[in-house]
């Protein structure tokens, strides 16, 4: 009997392959770079504050470009925009690896961020437009794989690369993956124009392009510089004023760049806000645990990475389980139970000490990943259940912008707690307090998720399964 191989010309398969590769590469890149920051500081002979620009420039570029990505995808077509953004990210990765000075590396990281800011929302829109409503949970199952796996893989891979090869390879490793995804997409991605984009919203782009980076900069630098520092206060004040003006412009513009009116949809709003809260707690934990293990308990970077990696395995279990229960149970109970359950292992982390952390942390990270994945797959599927095909590009852009903000808030809050507590071994009180706050974020997400009505997402719960390779 001849084996039937999946047909790469099937849009469901081709879009899924390219998007999963893109998501994994861009998400892992950000976590790998964090591991390499001490090495970069020594390499270029600069201060810790200076080398942090390698991260900040990337985040700022993402914040500038991402709001316009929905319009770009609708205007030029998803395949074309995705290809150009992927080529930009891949070329910038090669340039980062070849950088000979810190300013050069920072500039190349900004170009990387610009590529990422387009890749994720446009790719997500293509994925959801390719799968019919009744198969959206299947698409989300694919989407969540890199979302959960990449952040956990990054520290392990980054530590191995930096210790065994060179910091340059944390960027070079993107090149073969990017080239392969680009070549595969050029041949097999469906070529079609998306829905009418309308006129470009220049006032909205300018206001968002100034406001979001200022706020993201404050979130990133505030914990280290101090929230009362004049530069941080100025960035927050200016950013909030610009974003307030942006909101007024967007709700009055017939063809806004970031369609905030989509938030009037109660299902999108609730699913989106619970994702913001859940992501704040989850990404906050991925930021906090390595610091707790390395700075608080003296673990090596590789040991720390191996202790956090079970989160990815748990996430895979949670995704597979909830996506199969979705049609029978609906999103609300899965979302609420997942976030409530995720708060339990995070809370238990606040009780760990040197005697039990070696075996307990991997177990608790597995549980955190499993329960978070259990909740997030239904949330992302339900969020777009009542969104039309014409609005999908703008909706995925808004979804990703708000998720980025939630992640930044989570890291900023926990970093601020550590900065205020200044825990010095053997005192672990600051870390324990931060774990408790991350658990509260999960509980807040569960409260928001309880407002979701399964009936509003009924269209994603009906219909027979469609084979990905069919």
pLDDT at position 4: 52
Between CA 127 and CA 138 the distance in angstroms is 10
Mean pLDDT of 8-36: 76
- Report helix, strand or coil for 270: helix
Q: Which residues of 115-150 are buried (b: 16+ CB within 10 A; e: fewer)?
A: bbbbbbbbbbbbbbbbbebbbbbbbbbbbbbbbbbb
State how far the Cα of 331 lies from the Cα of 455, in Å rounded to an integer: 10
**Higher pLDDT pick, 239 / 138:** 239
The larger pLDDT score, comparing residue 439 to residue 264, is at 439
Mean pLDDT of 18-45: 78
Band the pLDDT of 163: cuts 50, 70, 90. confident
Q: What angle do CA 300, 303, 305 make, to 5 degrees?
A: 110
Does the pLDDT at position 1 exceed 50? no
pLDDT at position 352: 87
Name which of 163-167, 235-239, 362-366, 378-382 the model is least confident about.
163-167
The torsion angle over the Cα atoms of residues 297, 303, 304 and 310, rounded to 10 degrees, is -130
Of residues 49 and 145, more confidently modeled: 145
Q: What span, in angstroms and rounded, lies between the C-alpha atoms of 172 and 94?
A: 6
Confidence (pLDDT) at 80: 85
Check if the beta carbon of residue 167 is closer than 8 Å to that of residue 148: no
Lowest mean pLDDT among 139-148, 198-207, 244-253, 271-280: 139-148
- Shared fold status for 1-200 and 262-461: yes
Say if residue 183's pLDDT is above 70.
Answer: yes
Least confident of 8-17, 230-239, 244-253, 280-289: 8-17
Interatomic CA distance for residues 26 and 22, integer angstroms: 6
Percent of the residues in the chain that have a pLDDT greater than 90, as a whole number: 16
Task: Name every residue whose Cβ is closer than 8 Å to that of residue 86 and which is 6 or more positions away in sequence.
Answer: 22, 115, 119, 178, 181, 182, 185
Q: Which among 116, 119, 121, 143 has a CA at the least distance from the CA of 131? A: 143
In contact, 448 and 277? CB cutoff 8 Å: yes
Q: DSSP assignment, residue 131?
A: S
What's the confidence (pLDDT) of residue 2?
A: 47
pLDDT, average across residues 425-453: 88
pLDDT band at 346 (very low <50, low <70, confident <90, very high): very high
pLDDT (tens digit per residue) in 315-333: 888 888 888 888 888 888 9
Q: What is the pLDDT of residue 88?
A: 94
- Identify the helix (H) or strand (E) that includes residue 63: helix 53-76
- Is residue 49's pLDDT more than 70? no
Q: Give the CATH number of domain 1-200; options: 3.50.50.60, 1.20.1440.230, 1.20.1250.20, 3.40.718.10.
A: 1.20.1250.20
Q: Is the pLDDT of residue 22 over 80?
A: yes
Q: Is 359 exposed, middle or buried (0-12, 13-18, 19+ CB in 10 A)?
A: exposed
Query: Can you tell me the mean pLDDT for 139-154?
Result: 71
Quote the pLDDT of residue 3: 44
Specify which of 71-75, 131-135, 459-463 reaches the highest per-range mean pLDDT.
71-75
**How are the residues of the chain apportioned to helix, strand and coil, as percentages rounded to the nearest 5?**
80, 0, 20
Q: Using the predicted structure, report yes or no on whether residue 469 has a pLDDT greater than 50.
A: no
- Write out the two tokens for 309: 């990696």
**For position 196, what pLDDT does the model report?**
63
C-alpha span between 394 and 255 (Å, rounded): 11
Mean pLDDT of the region 371-393: 80
Supply the DSSP symbol for 434. Answer: H
Classify residue 83 by burial, with Cβ atoms within 10 Å: 0-12, 13-18, 19+.
middle
Nearest to 364 by CA among 469, 289, 437: 289
* Integer Cα distance of 9 and 271 in angstroms: 33
> How high is the mean pLDDT of the chain?
81
**Averaged pLDDT, 99-105:** 89
Domain regions of the chain by residue span: 1-200, 262-461
Identify the weakest region by mean pLDDT among 4-8, 111-115, 207-211, 214-218.
4-8
| pLDDT band at residue 197 using 50, 70 and 90 as cut-offs | low
Cβ 8 vs Cβ 14: under 8 Å: yes
What is the C-alpha to C-alpha distance for residues 155 and 445, in angstroms, rounded to an integer?
27
**CA–CA separation, 375 and 224 (whole Å):** 32
CATH dotted code for 262-461: 1.20.1250.20
pLDDT at 9 over 80: no
Checking if the pLDDT of 466 tops 60, the result is no
Q: Give the CA angle between residues 94, 97, 101 to the nearest 5°.
A: 125
The label of the residue with tokens 């991997």 reads 362
The more confidently predicted of residues 96 and 28 is: 96
- Give the pLDDT mean for 254-279: 85
Q: Which of 435, 157, 403 is nearest to 288 (CA)?
A: 435
């Amino acid at each position: 009997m001849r084996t039937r191989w999946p047909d790469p010309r099937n849009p469901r398969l081709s879009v899924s392959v390219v998007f999963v590769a893109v998501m994994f590469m861009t998400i892992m890149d950000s976590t790998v770079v964090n591991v390499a920051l001490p090495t970069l500081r020594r390499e270029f002979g600069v201060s810790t504050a200076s080398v942090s620009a390698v991260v900040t420039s990337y985040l700022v570029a993402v914040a500038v470009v991402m709001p316009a990505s929905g319009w770009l995808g609708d205007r030029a077509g998803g395949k074309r925009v995705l290809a150009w953004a992927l080529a930009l990210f891949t070329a910038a990765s090669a340039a980062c690896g070849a950088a000979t000075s810190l300013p050069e590396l920072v500039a190349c990281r900004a170009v990387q961020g610009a590529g990422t800011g387009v890749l994720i929302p446009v790719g997500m829109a293509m994925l959801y437009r390719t799968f019919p409503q009744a198969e959206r949970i299947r698409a989300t199952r694919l989407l969540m794989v890199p979302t959960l796996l990449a952040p956990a893989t990054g520290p392990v891979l980054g530590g191995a690369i930096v210790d065994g090869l060179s910091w340059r390879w944390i960027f070079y490793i993107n090149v073969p993956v990017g080239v392969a995804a680009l070549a595969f997409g050029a041949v097999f991605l469906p070529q079609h124009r998306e829905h009418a984009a309308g006129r470009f919203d220049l006032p909205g782009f300018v206001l968002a392009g100034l406001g979001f980076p200022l706020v993201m900069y404050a979130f990133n630098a505030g914990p280290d510089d101090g929230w009362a520092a004049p530069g941080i206060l100025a960035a927050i004040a200016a950013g909030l004023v610009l974003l307030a003006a942006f909101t007024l412009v967007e709700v009055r513009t017939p063809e806004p760049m970031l369609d905030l009116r989509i938030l009037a949809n109660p299902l999108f709003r609730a699913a989106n806000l619970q994702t913001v809260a859940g992501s704040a707690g989850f990404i906050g934990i991925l930021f906090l645990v390595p610091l707790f293990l390395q700075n608080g308990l003296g673990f090596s970077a590789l040991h720390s990475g191996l202790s956090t990696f079970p989160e990815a395995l748990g996430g895979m279990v949670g995704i597979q389980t909830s996506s199969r229960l979705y049609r029978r149970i609906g999103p609300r109970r899965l979302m609420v139970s997942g976030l409530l359950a995720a708060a339990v292992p995070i809370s238990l982390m606040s009780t760990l000490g040197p005697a039990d952390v070696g075996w307990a942390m991997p177990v608790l990270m597995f549980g955190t990943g499993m329960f978070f994945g259990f909740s997030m797959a239904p949330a992302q599927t339900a969020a777009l259940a009542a969104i039309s095909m014409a609005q999908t590009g703008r909706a995925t852009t808004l979804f990703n912008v708000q998720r980025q903000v939630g992640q930044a808030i989570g890291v900023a809050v926990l970093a601020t707690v550590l900065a205020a507590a200044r825990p010095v071994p053997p005192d672990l009180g600051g870390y324990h307090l931060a774990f408790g706050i991350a658990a509260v974020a999960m509980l807040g997400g569960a409260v928001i998720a309880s407002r979701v009505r399964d009936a509003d997402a009924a269209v994603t719960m009906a219909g027979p399964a469609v084979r990905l390779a069919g």
